[in-house]
Chain A
Amino acid sequence: MEPLINYFIVSAALLCVGIYGLIAKRNAIRLLFAVEIIINAAIINFVAFARYHDTPLITGQTFSLFAIALAATEAAVGLAIIVQAFRLNNDIDVLELKKLRG
């Protein structure tokens, strides 16, 4: 088995990729990708830290369940917003989204 640090670093790498995406991308769908990647990174940490506890905990798994469910929610809402924005603006460049309120 690997030490915990390996999982931690993978998770950190995913987080950084996500942050890069949030900063660099203007396409709303790519932003959504970035957010999903960050959530994934968090979930990996949840599970890994719970597993590496002295007496392995199940709580990490339970919480990652919640996290996954909420990620699904977030994706649904985000995509609905994107579709809506596209209908209004014919564009999904976030910098151009001025009139989301119709």
Chain B
Amino acid sequence: MNYKLISGILGAFAVGFRNIFKRRMTLRYPEERLDIESGYTFDAKSNTGSAGFKGRHILYTDKCTGCSLCAIACENIADCIDMVQVEGNWPINPKNIMPQIDYGRCVFCGFCVDACPFDCLFMTPEYELSATDKRKLVHTPFQLAVFPEKKGNVKLISDDGVAYHD
């Protein structure tokens, strides 16, 4: 009488049971990290970007001229870029100002990268930015200048009806 009911429930059980023996897809985050190849960059000459992850910014301090275009681009989006005075002698940066980014506001849209005409502000695959203190979220130009070390070692692979990280 209720062939559909019984077969339906048994089918559900069978599928659930089969999945017990599948390889798990969990990325064991602190030990494994996702391998992200590159950050988002933008070529001002051709006016197109290159596909890449929009993470923490990288600032090439030697190329920055302190033009504030990134801060202007960000002004109405998240208002997270401040031009701050920096120490040292920067020949092409007459006012000695460089962007300082407040990651408590940043939304990682990357329009500041698009706005930079001197190819000195890009994005990196770094995303580990959590902090217990709000002040630690503000990254100074020199913090931004440090290129993050590559930590990623696994990728999400799908084949044969199984998805896993390897």
Consider the complex of A and B and state whether they touch directly, i.e. have CB atoms less than 8 Å apart. no
